[in-house]
Structures are given as C-alpha cells and as structure tokens.
Chain A
Amino acid sequence: MNDTLTVRLGIVGTGMISEAHAAALKVVPEIQLAGITDINPAAAEGFARKWGTDPYPSYDALLEAVDAVILCTPNDLHEPMAKQALAAGKHLLIEKPMALSGAGAESIRQGYADAGLALMVGHTHRHADYARAVRQTIDDGLVGDVRSVRIAITGGWIWAGWQAWVLDPTRSGGHAFHNGVHLYDLACWWTGSRAERVYAVGQQLTSAALDIDDYLCATLMMESGATAVCEISRGERPKQVNAFEIVVHGTDATLVRRWDSDGLVVFNDDAAGPRPAPVTDNFARQLRVFAAAINGGDAYPSPAAAVHATAIAEAVERSARGQRVEEVTL
C-alpha cells in the first residue's frame, strides 16, 4: 500500500461502457470505486449492488464525495458535465467523444490545464494490444516513413431501437463522433501527424429513415503528406461478421492485419467468420495511466490529441453532409 491508493472515484452513467470501467477497476488497486450515479436511481442502485459501491442521488452529490470521476453519459452531456467536474475540482476521465465540437473539447482541455487537474479521454484503442503493436512496428523503423493507412472496423449491429440516443445526431454527433474518433486518433498516432483535410462518404444502410450514417468512410489527409482511410460500419450483412482490417503502407514495408489475423476462423450453422483472440484489458491499462496522471504523470493520449480527434470528427461530419473536402480547424 502507498499514498496513491487513496483516489476515490465515481462513475457517472450505468451503461455498457460503465460496466467495462467498473470491471477494470477491480484489477487497478490504485483507484477505489467510491460511487455511482445515474439519471435512473434504480439503475444506479443496481449498479452499486453489483460492483460493491454506493449509489448517489445526483451528479452534484457524487462530485462532493469523490476525488475523480469517469463520465459515461450520452455524448451531448460530455461538455457541460466535464465543466461541472472541473468547477468542483475533480480529476476527469471522460468517455469519447470529448465534446460535440472541437471548440468545446478545447475549452475543456484549457480549463483542466489551467486548474492543474488530470484530464484523460477514453480513447481505449490507444491502450489495445494491436494498436500498440502497430505503433511499435513503426517506431522500430520496420515500415519506414508512413505513406498511407487503412483502418476498417465493420459489423452488423445497430444501436438497439429508435429510442437509442446514439441514433439522434443532436445527442451523439453522428458516427464520426461516436466511433470515428477512435480511428482518427489512431491514424494521427500511427502517422505521427495531424490531419489537415478530410473527405468523407456516409451511408444509411440499416434504414433510410436513419438521421445518422451507420456506414462512414473518411479519408484523412495528414500534414505529413500521408493519408488514412478510416471506415466504420454498423450496417453490414451477415450481421454476425465483424471485420477488422489494418494496412500501414510505408517506404520500406507494408503492415497488413487481415480478416483472419487473430488466428481463429469458425464456420458453423449459425455464423461463419473470424473470432477475436483474447486480449489484454485495455480499460485496465487506461485506468493505470489515469491513476499515474492524477499523481502528476502524463495523460495518454494527451488531451490535445483528443481535441484534435474531435475536430477531425467535426470536419468529417461536415464533409459527409456537403460531399466536399473540408479543412480540420483545430
């Protein structure tokens, strides 16, 4: 035991991603789960029973009881609730997207920097085995200078029914904000460059009545001269097939993650296709970085990188709507 074990952390929201954070906290003893709150009190009580913590009746009450919070609320609430946490002097791990605009994200980053509090954004892919291996391969000089990147994550599961807030662009920001930011952040990390311009194509596959794109393909044109094609889909068939492909083409070699690179492919009566291999818990890795940041270390990825990913998402949504090349402004 040491002094770093005293961080008391609260989770805001009881959705799927909150469960992932709570499970990760079980293996990160530097941080203690000290409370949960949700707009639905019954959900908070159920979550508290499951994970052995205390339910709080409101966000304000939770903020009074903890040193840090993980914000797992719908995307449109991220910015105002982050600013509430900042005003209360609490360290913050905020789920992606940081905000629904680059300017909003930057205002959060600046506030936390001025206050000297830890701020981290849930770009969990940065902490994933595969993403670290790609970056290490590039750092080892095996690819050479990166010319182009492809990241494709495609599947067939839409976000529940019409009640799902993710389907409301005013709440989620659309697919670029909700999932795209993961890919845009990886593209910047792997190319070692910021995005300058984007060109995006969006489609409504599952239903013509969708107000967001459930298929979104964005090409990022980086300051380095490299490009990155970032493709995400929730509308593919057969719906059980989840494809995950990576290409990093460089001056010396091309790194390829194929559809069967996890090493297991299953054909049975229900479905056919690749199965994911067991991985290291990237949520636990992320929490350890957050614990270190609270104790004066660096947040990773940096808040500035997360602001840029948000600005890219903003440009991607503009490009998909306007069908033209758009500048990234932050």
Chain B
Amino acid sequence: MNAVHSSAVDATLLVDRFRGPAIGLASAARMGQFGLPHAMHGELVDAGSADQLAARAVDVVTAVLGPCQGDVVAAGSDDAWTLTIRWRRGVVVTLLVGRGDGVVHRYRVLGSNGQAYADLTGPAFELVGTTSTRVGFGPTPEDRAGSGTTDLAEVERVIAAARRSLESGQAEPSVS
C-alpha cells in the first residue's frame, strides 16, 4: 500500500537544513566550491513515515541545489521510498529514505570541480564501550530557529509529484 493519500507536508519536520553539516554543504554549494553540482544523493533512515522522511530529505536538497524543476520517479511503500529526480537539466538527485530504529542521514554532492560528503548525524563523538553510540555536540536545529526559512511550497511540489509517480509508475513533472 503506497502512502499516496497522506496529508500535506508537516512544516515542523523541515529542520534538517539547519543542521551544521547541511548549513556548510549548502553554503559551499552556493559559493561554487564544488563547481556546478551534477548529482546529489542522500539517505535518511529514521523514525517516521516514508513521505515525511522524503520531505525532510527533499528540503535539504532544495537548500543545496535550489528549487526542483524536473521529473520525479518514486517507488516504495509506506515505510520506504526511493526517489529519482531530474532536479534540473543535467542534475540528478536520488534519495533513499526509510523507517528505521537507528539514524542514517547523509548526502553526497558531485560537482564539476569537486565532491562533498555530509553526515547530518554530526557533529558528534563516537562513544565506544560495550556498545557504540554517537554523542552529538553543538547547536541543534531548534537552537537555530529563526535563522532561516524552509521552502515548504517547493518541498510540497516534489512530494506531490512523488505521490503521483507512486500511483502511475512513471516519471511525473514537479512543475506544471
């Protein structure tokens, strides 16, 4: 059963672009430090439904690449989506998102003059004992509330296209 009839995107979930590595990644991309990106790929495994997770990931990509202008292909279930997006001409984005107990949250940007790897579970220490855990430090996204705005309408356009693609099995435009 695909999550194609879920409610609209919950704007309060769109905080990941305010995580430290996301801020740095978006800033570097806007300044052209990797040249012009031709691809961006990410994974987000966390609590929540697939459409919520996808919205969070799409918001991060929007912060880095700007608004989506191309087609979206989505596949998956209520628990996991895979999005393949022609973000704009010559730029591809893929996002693997899924419900999970642990957290995986990272992005990779490939550009004409370099690459970047961002792990949004950082900054964090590794605490190694009988089990291994991560201990975060520094400001949280909530600490940065008010430091910027999300692109809710942009995210909703992409997620709506993803829902249509889940139903049609085809590429669906993100802009009409």
Binding site for B on A (CB under 8 A): 147-148, 150, 152, 154, 197, 199, 201, 203, 205, 215, 217, 219, 221, 225, 227, 229, 231, 233, 236-238, 241, 243, 245, 247, 249, 251, 253-254, 256, 259, 323-325
Contacts and interface: CB of A to CB of B under 8 A. Distances in A.
Interface residues of B, number: 36
A245 B108 contact: yes
Q: Which of B76, B84, B98, B169 has the most C-beta atoms of chain A within 10 angstroms of its own C-beta?
A: B84
Contacts of A205: 38, 112
B28 to A, nearest CB: 15
Interface of B: 35, 38-39, 41, 43, 45, 71, 73, 75-77, 79-80, 82, 84, 86, 90, 92, 94, 96, 98, 100-102, 104, 108, 110-115, 117, 169-171
Given A219-B73, A229-B84, A231-B94, A254 B35 contact: no
A46 to B, nearest CB: 38
A217 B92 CA distance: 8
Nearest to A248: B96
A254 B45 contact: yes
Contacts of B35: 237
A192 B17 CA distance: 36
B170 A325 contact: yes
Given A217-B84, A221-B75, A231-B94, 4 more contacts: A199-B84, A203-B92, A243-B108, A249-B43
Nearest to B95: A229
B111 A217 contact: no
A225 B169 CA distance: 12
B42 to A, nearest CB: 10
B102 A227 contact: no
Nearest to B114: A237
A103 B73 CA distance: 28
A245 B171 CA distance: 26
A148 B80 contact: yes
Report, nearest first, the 6 A-B pairs whose CB atoms are least far apart. Answer: A227-B82, A147-B80, A201-B92, A219-B84, A199-B73, A148-B96
A254 B98 CA distance: 9
Q: Which of A221, A227, A251 has the most C-beta atoms of chain B within 10 angstroms of its own C-beta?
A: A227
Contact of B114 (A215, A229, A231, A238): A238
B172 to A, nearest CB: 10
